[in-house]
Amino acid sequence: MKIKTSSAERHVLAVTVDNEAGILSKITGLFSARGYNIESLTVADISADHALSRITIVTLGPPSVIDQIIAQLDRLVPVHSVVDLTDNMHHVEREIALIKVAGTGDKRIEALRLADVFRAKVVDTTLSSFVFEITGASEKVDRFIALMRECGLIDVARTGVVAMARGN
Amino acid sequence: MVTSFAHAQAHPATAARAPKHILGTAIVRAALCDDTLGTLAIEGGGVISGASAAAGAGAVDAARGEMSGAEIILQALLDLGVDTIFGYPGGAVLPIYDALFNHPQIRHVLVRHEQAATHAAEGYARSTGKPGVVLVTSGPGATNAVTGITDALMDSIPMIVLSGQVATHLIGTDAFQECDTIGITRHCTKHNFLVLDPSRLGPVVHEAFHIATHGRPGPVLIDIPKDVQVATGEYIVPETIAHQSYRPQVTPDADALVTAAQMIASARQPIFYTGGGVINAGSAASAALRHLVELTGAPVTSTLMGLGAFPASDDKWLGMLGMHGTYEANYAMNRADLIIAVGARFDDRVTGRLDAFAPDAKKIHIDIDRSSINKSVPVDLAIVGDATAALTGIIAAWEAEGLHAQPLDEWWRRIEGWRSVQCLDFVQDDAADAEIMPQTAIRSLYAATRGRNPIITTEVGQHQMWAAQHFGFDDPNRWLTSGGLGTMGYGFPAAVGAQFAHPDDLVICIAGEASVQMNIQEMATAAQYRLPVKLFILNNEWMGMVRQWQELTYESRYSNSYSSSLPDFVKLADAYGWTGIRIDALGELDAAVQRMIETPGPVIVDCRVVKAANCFPMIPSGASHVDMILGSSDVSGTMDDEAKALV
């Protein structure tokens, strides 16, 4: 007997929760306990009184599983709302990455030239390194990082996706 | 868990004085604990009076002034109508236990193991509809409670667990009897709280009760560090609990109810499939179900958890469905053109092989938990809401639209055909010295007790299924069993809890000789409180359901399923001050059952039954409703790996 797997779609969920101790563990624990995937997860508080946090989760699963994930999240006591931004909804996704490149000579010049093409900002520099800040969709960040590998990439930090529905 | 605080921390001189003091306390406590059933006046009715502050903010109970955290907890419990707590003391809850000393309105039941406290609270809750309350200490007290908390989550039982925690400044230091109770219980509670300020205790206790009892019920744990129990604060009574984020949908969509009524009216092979949600929704839901069945003329089957919501004595009752359900219930589900699921969750024990489940049926699913809908079986009409509201709403729509059911004569004719298989029949040698078939024992118990409307609890295994098949339930809240988690060791403490809630009722735990040993220490609890619980053991000297699966799947390789070195249950009864009765042969059965019923106080019955008997009908792993095994002659002894991999 072999273990079977099924095909999956990518969905971006925006989950508004009470900003209380253990909430992140509750959310991630639900995903691990029920065997759901987390591709990326970002969290920060979003209200003036710091009472609410928004968690953006990128997950993979067949439609029936995505529906279950939303229902399971929605019934947690500290969860205020769950919105599937991918579901019939136009939305924007952004990610920030900090990318450190070390090198001299042609590689250093090429890194700076590519950063300009990608509209990445230099946020730190020494005579032998740069730290670039790049903002954009995940694919753009992926491509920039892939190019930087050829230019002396030594460190990457990414936020994961944040997303919002278009229009009002 | 009794701590060794004195040894670890006290000055030798203090420790030497301690026993005298403790002894003096123990005498008074013993007098309180020996109180017999039914003598305690219950104060507080769940209505909070005198709270007059602005809505939402809550009212400070100024009359009482500042109180210790422990006092606030008990006052909140009293205000919420709590009369009974099941618990076990220990170092981190000593302040609450000390406060209990001055609150005789709350009866504390001293169990012998924290797991039993949780199951007793479940028994109390399931038989009353009120939340069960548990009090345990930190560390092992809390971890021992985890099985019962998970059981309550799986079976949607309202429960409040108060757990002690080490003092705030010790949290995270691997202190004595410290564990991460909040972390451990995060995924087996409906919600949990760590309270760090005594003034938060009032709102949190009230909110915990609200969460445990609203929407789909479940267990809520409140972890209280010892210093928070000692420190003082204000008792704030929230005026109304308008929870910011937890607002379960209880009112069903009106249009969906009309659609449901129309679907039922046009069905030619309808069937009601009901579950524990109907029991949880209260007796009004059972009454509405009966009314709707009468209006529509459709047959009814139920899950293990739903037994009693519809009377077993009614002609329209087909018996339980699923793995050990009846032939007629499973065939009717398979051939139905409309299934009306009410408070049931299409569990794997119910559906069998999913791709062969009710292939021609449209499905209406009424459930208070949206995540139960489309979880394993896609449905045609989803109604999220309370079962009472949904059923009465469908009745109202039925009457308002002037609907009439299709003629169901042909459907009933087919059902009668399946009924005529007499799937629950078994062969009983009727000689007086014959061995007793387990089914015979259950039927004897049913015949002797049905007039008293007993509360029946079970452990988990073959005896549980035989009880579900052969004992008839005509009312809700009289059948208490561990369905979702399948916890051996549930039934006996659940009977203890139910007996506290119903001191004058006949409470019987139907057990197996293996299951009962998982919480058998509670015989002391029953003895202490002089509870008249009856423990009826079907003793076949095997973990019968494990052995049955080994016969079905593993060519009868009986790996570790024999109940070796059993105690003499009659002598055990004697040791605990119970009455013990042993039954060996058919000729003794009825008289012994009668003697059990008539004996005051707790009774253990060791009923020896046919060892080889197995539980049928059975849908084997990976099979559909129409592939039932009706008897042992259908057993092949092995299965393919796909079937073996299913639980």
pLDDT, tens only, B246-295: 889 999 999 999 999 999 999 999 999 999 999 999 999 999 999 999 99
* pLDDT given for residue B5 in this prediction: 34
| Same domain membership, residue B392 and residue B315 | yes
Number of A to B CB contacts under 8 A, please give it: 51
Question: Pairing between strand A91-102 and A52-61?
Answer: unpaired
| Same domain membership, residue B583 and residue B491 | yes
Mean pLDDT (chain A, rounded): 94
Q: With 70 as the cut, is the pLDDT of residue B27 above it?
A: no
Interchain pair A71, B371: CB under 8 A: yes
Return the bridge partners of A101, or none.
A130, A153
Confidence band for B350, pLDDT divided at 50, 70 and 90: very high
What range defines the domain where residue B514 resides? 438-615
Distances (CA, A) of B495 to A33, B453, B487, B515, B533: 32, 15, 14, 14, 7
Confirm whether B311 is domain-assigned. yes
DSSP-derived 3-state class of residue A140: helix
Confirm whether B21 is domain-assigned. no
Question: Pairing between strand B338-342 and B362-367?
Answer: parallel
| Same domain membership, residue B491 and residue B387 | no
| Same domain membership, residue B506 and residue B379 | no
Distance from CA of B544 to the nearest CA of A (A): 28
B645 touching A, CB under 8 A? yes
| Same domain membership, residue B473 and residue B410 | no
Q: What number is the average pLDDT over the span B229-252?
A: 89
| Same domain membership, residue B228 and residue B124 | yes
| Same domain membership, residue B501 and residue B397 | no
Confidence band for B57, pLDDT divided at 50, 70 and 90: low
Q: Which helix or strand (DSSP H or E) is residue B268 part of? A: none
B355 touching A, CB under 8 A? no
* pLDDT given for residue B420 in this prediction: 97
Question: Which of B419, B446, B480 is the last residue in one of the domains?
Answer: B419
Question: Pairing between strand B219-225 and A52-61?
Answer: unpaired
CA neighbor of B182 nearest in space, from B147, B148, B225, B229: B225
Alpha-helix residue ranges (DSSP H) falling in B231-342: 254-266, 276-280, 283-296, 327-335
Q: With 50 as the cut, is the pLDDT of residue B2 above it?
A: no
* pLDDT given for residue B220 in this prediction: 98
B215 touching A, CB under 8 A? yes
| Same domain membership, residue B553 and residue B499 | yes
Q: Cα separation of B154 and B484, whole Å?
A: 5
pLDDT, tens only, A1-16: 777 777 789 999 999 9
Q: Cα separation of B441 and B435, whole Å?
A: 11
Q: What number is the average pLDDT over the span B428-457?
A: 97
B191 touching A, CB under 8 A? yes
* pLDDT given for residue B522 in this prediction: 98
pLDDT, tens only, B609-642: 999 999 999 999 889 999 999 988 777 778 888 7
Confirm whether B109 is domain-assigned. yes
Structure tokens at B169: 């400044």
Q: What number is the average pLDDT over the span B44-67?
A: 52
Strand segments (E) across A19-148: 40-45, 52-61, 79-84, 91-102, 121-126, 129-136
| Same domain membership, residue B133 and residue B210 | yes
Q: Is B114 a catalytic residue?
A: yes
Q: Which residue of A has its CA nearest to B215?
A: A75
Q: With 70 as the cut, is the pLDDT of residue B403 above it?
A: yes
* pLDDT given for residue B364 in this prediction: 98
* pLDDT given for residue B43 in this prediction: 31
| Same domain membership, residue B364 and residue B274 | yes
Higher-confidence residue: B9 or B593?
B593
Q: How many CB atoms lie within 10 A of CB B443?
A: 20
Q: With 80 as the cut, is the pLDDT of residue B186 above it?
A: yes
pLDDT, tens only, B522-573: 999 999 999 999 999 999 999 999 999 999 999 999 999 999 999 999 999 9
The amino acid at B94: L
Distance from CA of B89 to the nearest CA of A (A): 27
DSSP secondary structure string for all residues of B466-491 = HHHHHS---STTSEE---SS--TT-H
| Same domain membership, residue B333 and residue B228 | no
Q: With 90 as the cut, is the pLDDT of residue B148 above it?
A: yes
Q: Give the active site residue among B190, B226, B363, B534.
A: B226
Q: Give the active site residue among B75, B177, B462, B464.
A: B177
* pLDDT given for residue B173 in this prediction: 96
Q: What number is the average pLDDT over the span B430-447?
A: 98
Return the bridge partners of B159, or none.
B132, B219
Confirm whether B242 is domain-assigned. no
Structure tokens at B431: 């000689």
Inter-residue contact B141 to B164 (CB < 8 Å): yes
- Domains of chain A (ranges plus CATH)? 9-84 (3.30.70.260), 91-165 (3.30.70.1150)
- DSSP code of B377? S
Interchain pair A75, B369: CB under 8 A: yes
Confidence band for B240, pLDDT divided at 50, 70 and 90: confident
The amino acid at B180: D
Confidence band for A138, pLDDT divided at 50, 70 and 90: very high
pLDDT, tens only, A76-95: 999 999 999 997 679 999 99
Distance from CA of B135 to the nearest CA of A (A): 23
DSSP-derived 3-state class of residue B215: coil
Q: Is B316 a catalytic residue?
A: no
Portion of chain B with pLDDT greater than 70, in percent:
91
Inter-residue contact B339 to B346 (CB < 8 Å): no
Confidence band for B9, pLDDT divided at 50, 70 and 90: very low
Q: Is B226 a catalytic residue?
A: yes
Interchain pair B248, A75: CB under 8 A: yes
Q: Which residue of A has its CA nearest to B249?
A: A75
Interchain pair A1, B187: CB under 8 A: no
Inter-residue contact B84 to B133 (CB < 8 Å): yes
CA A38 to chain centre: 10
Contacts of B126 (CB under 8 A, 6+ apart): B155, B157, B279, B477, B480, B494, B498
Structural domains counted in chain B: 3
* pLDDT given for residue B35 in this prediction: 40
| Same domain membership, residue B574 and residue B485 | yes
Which of B216, B223, B246 best probes binding to A when mutated, by most A CB atoms within 10 angstroms?
B246
CATH number for B101: 3.40.50.970
* pLDDT given for residue B6 in this prediction: 35
Confidence band for B171, pLDDT divided at 50, 70 and 90: very high
Confirm whether B347 is domain-assigned. yes
Structure tokens at A43: 């969290």
Confirm whether B158 is domain-assigned. yes
pLDDT, tens only, B112-145: 999 999 999 999 999 999 999 999 999 999 999 9
Structure tokens at A61: 């699963």
Distance from CA of B83 to the nearest CA of A (A): 27
Mean pLDDT (chain B, rounded): 91
